[in-house]
Amino acid sequence: MTEPNQETDTTTSEHPFQAEVNQVLDIVINSLYSHREVFLRELISNSADALDKIRFQAVTDESLLGSEKDLEIQLVPDKSAGTLTIIDTGIGMTRDEVIQNLGTIAHSGSKGFLAALKEKEQGGESVDLIGQFGVGFYASFLVADKVLVRTLAAGDDQTAWRWESEAKGTFHVEPAPEWTTRGTEVKLFLKDDQKDVLEEYQIRQLVQRYSDFVSWPILLEVEREEGEDDDKKTVKKDERINNASALWRRPRREITDEEYEEFYKHVSRDREPPLDTIHFTIEGTTSYTGLIYLPKKAPFDLFDQDKKRGVRLYVKRVMIMEDCEDLVPEYLRFLRGVIDSDDLPLNVSRELLQEDRIVRSIKKTIVTKTLGALEFMAKERADDYAAFWDGFGVVLKEGLHFDFENKETLAKLVRYRSSKSDFTSLTDYVDRMSEDQDTIYYAIGQNRQTVEGSPHIEALKKKDIEVLYMTDPIDEWAVQGLDEFDGKKLASAMKSDLDLDKDRTDEQKAEDDANQERLEDLSERAQKVLEDRVSEVRVSRRLDESPCCLVVPDGGVHAHIERMLRAQGQDLPAQKRILELNPTHPVIERLHLLNANPSESDKVENWFELLYDQALLAEGSPIADPPRFAKRMSDLMTQALESEEEA
Ligand code: ADP
């Protein structure tokens, strides 16, 4: 956006909207027209937030309230002018704030969102995505072709500002000396076909449906006839049209599903209903009320580091903080809602919150209640839980690593794909285990396909032992926090310490030892050839159909994760892996013979290079020198074809 120069700073100025705003306006006008009623909710929501803010600031500085002590929202329909005006006595905006707030989009990640939207739109699915994106103030243009804002910020600067736009790419800002009360007025010049929203019953209905939970009075200017027969006159007066008590403080049985839902939309800026609602009151040494929601879909910026997270913190019904991070652990960052404490001081600072005993105790309750609700959902509403997992499973898994205290509960909540199921819990895995199996096996890779086809799990599959497929980047760390479940160890099928011995008969074990001895020379040779990449070569027990595979040494990271960390720019020391050979595979048998024949043993070198690359490909890793690999392949094919011809 081009900033106006100093000269125009305090006078009239014209500004272009930020490009993203134009896109949002486009969506509003072209895709959301069938949801026009949301405009009022969005504007009332903004007013309620502005009132929350002034009330909070007035806690420390009462003088900010000035003569405007009534904190409320007023709706004024004017049929003759064709306007609907929403006025609040909230915090107001300075000139800079007006330009910033009503000319740009502050939500981080909005660019990415809009790009995704464009892509989807071409596939005709836009409305679904828009649901995640609060269009806020810009929803005014659903019903209005011109919007006028007048606002005066709380504080010393007593200049009021007027903002005006017809949503045609620009907006206009100038001083508004005639506006002398603190707060903001939004005047909507209604489109010709939208004037029905001026009807009293329409406004009442919209407020009741979408904004009844707002804890500030919403007043509607109505016309009433007063006096007796001859003396009748029409007077205008304000009637309160909402309940105006904090929703979370009302008894649960008195709150309807719709009210819970609308309040969720207010605090989350999500337009879809929540997946679950947790409403609780704790009374005792510390008292507080919580109204916590689980969203249905992951927001597009779930992994955005800068995104504000956390729930709203109120102290005795005064909003202290919109995004209180200290109340929810990182792995539950998708939670939305409100905590209202009776005991915290009203002037509590962010720094103090971090160390506060009460905050810690509230956080603990939020975690316990949320995990409890998820356990219940997993049992009773399997489809909902699957949907939850789809959106937030990756985030919840972080808890396995970081939340030692709740590890056991979290372990019951995680789900994986496996060689036997598309969606399994560890409990179900254990139920399917045979009696002599004492370990839960897993394999880590980029996606189901590569893990499923990876050589490492061949022997397990052959024995009909289930393998969990861990394909989320977080899995490597998450599973480290989980070395055991229900008394069963968890082990990676890709790590060197995989102990399959216990499943082998004495006869098999003797055979293994014999193989190890027989292939001693060959292993040594391979080790020499691949010295710079491989720390050890040994005979394998985990292979069935493949000639070899690469396994992770004790304490090492899986190849897929190693690659990812490097891609993120982390400087990792090169990790050498262990090459395991399948003693019964014909390729290994032949190589063994070739190696024993001094005149041919040079070829062995080439074969091992090829085998090494092939092991990488089989597990889904890239190879270092594809042209060389291709050359070796074609040489090999030539040889094979020639010998076929000879035969
Ligand atoms: P959102 O409310 O999701 O942040 P909006 O587009 O609705 O997005 O509003 C942008 C910003 O404009 C708000 O965050 C707030 O800072 C400011 N704002 C909007 N309406 C008001 C109001 N009535 N009083 C004070 N500030 C407001």
CA distance 67 to 54: 13
Residues 581, 519: contact at Cβ < 8 Å? yes
C-alpha 257 – ligand 1 centre gap (Å): 27
CB atoms within 10 A of CB 366: 21
Q: Which residues contact 242 (CB under 8 A, 6 or more apart)?
A: 207, 208, 211, 212, 213, 214, 217, 218
Give the chain's domain count.
Answer: 4
* Top-confidence residue, 571 or 223: 223
- Asked if residue 467 and residue 612 are part of one domain, the reply reads no
Question: Whose alpha carbon is nearest atom 1 of ligand 1?
Answer: 136
291 and 420 inside one domain: no
Same domain? 348 vs 404: no
Does residue 160 sit in the same domain as residue 255?
no
The residue behind tokens 């998450």 is 478
In a domain, 386, yes or no: no
Q: Which of 212, 240, 268 is the last residue of a domain?
A: 240
Same structural domain, 331 and 474: no
Please indicate, yes or no, whether residues 253 and 330 belong to a single structural domain of this protein: yes
The answer to which of 88-102, 349-363, 516-530 has the lowest mean pLDDT is: 349-363
Residue 346 and residue 447 share a domain = no
pLDDT of 477 above 90: no
**34 C-beta neighbours (distance < 10 Å), count:** 8
Tens digit of pLDDT for each residue in 252-311? 999 999 999 999 988 887 888 999 999 999 998 899 999 999 999 887 777 777 777 889
* CATH number of the domain where residue 351 is located: 3.30.230.80
* 95 lies in the same domain as 151: yes
Q: Is pTM beyond 0.85 here?
A: no
* pLDDT range class, residue 398, cuts 50, 70, 90: very high
Please check whether residue 6 lies inside any domain of the structure: no
Residues 617 and 579 in one domain: yes
Same domain, 24 and 157: yes
User: Is the distance from CB of 549 to CB of 614 less than 8 angstroms?
Assistant: no
How does the average pLDDT of the chain come out, rounded?
88
pLDDT bin (cut points 50, 70, 90) of residue 210 is confident
Residue among 221, 198, 220 nearest 211 (CA): 220
Query: Token pair for residue 471?
Result: 């394909």
- What pLDDT is stored for residue 275 in this prediction? 97
- Is 518 within a domain? yes
Are 158 and 102 members of one domain?
yes
Task: Identify which of 43, 46, 113, 188 to mutate to test ligand 1's pocket (most ligand atoms within 8 A of the CB).
Answer: 46
- For position 103, which CATH number holds? 3.30.565.10
Q: Regarding predicted confidence, which is higher, 303 or 540?
A: 540
Whether residue 110 is contained in a domain is answered as yes
The rounded Å distance from CA 45 to ligand 1 centre is 9
Considering all CA atoms of the chain, what is the largest pairwise distance in Å, rounded to the nearest integer?
126
Residue 3 lies in a domain: no
What's the pLDDT tens digit per position in 71-128?
999 999 999 999 999 999 999 999 999 999 999 876 655 666 677 666 666 655 555 5
Our mutation pick for probing the ligand 1 site, out of 17, 88, 101, 171, counting the most ligand atoms within 8 A of Cβ, is 101
pLDDT greater than 50 at residue 212: yes
Q: What gap in Å lies between CA 215 and CA 226, rounded to an integer?
A: 30
Q: Of all protein residues, whose CA lies closest to atom 16 belonging to ligand 1? A: 101
Taking each helix axis from N to C terminus, what angle separates 586-596 and 601-618, rounded to the nearest 10 degrees? 160
Residue indicated by tokens 């002018």: 81
pLDDT score at 10: 64
Could you tell me if residue 499 is inside a domain?
no
pLDDT digits (tens, 9 = 90+) for 498-512: 777 666 788 888 888
Same domain, 527 and 631: yes
147 CA from centroid of ligand 1 (Å) = 14
Give the pLDDT confidence score for residue 6 in this predicted structure: 41
Residue that is last in its domain, among 440, 468, 492: 492
- Using CB distances shorter than 6 Å, the residues near ligand 1 are 42, 46-47, 50, 88, 90-93, 101-102, 134, 136-138, 184, 269
Range(s) of the domain holding residue 314: 247-377
Report the distance separating Cα 454 and Cα 530, nearest Å. 21
CATH number, domain of 422, equals 3.40.50.11260
Best of 17, 75, 137 to mutate for ligand 1, by most ligand atoms within 8 A of CB?
Answer: 137
In a domain, 559, yes or no: no
* For range 523-532, the mean pLDDT: 93
pLDDT above 80 (res 347)? no
The verdict on residue 303 lying in a domain is: yes
Instruction: Choose one of 438, 463, 492: the last residue of a domain.
Output: 492
The pLDDT, as a whole number, for residue 410 is 96
Beta pairing class for 288-294 and 311-315: unpaired
Instruction: Give 110 Cα–ligand 1 centroid separation in angstroms.
Output: 16
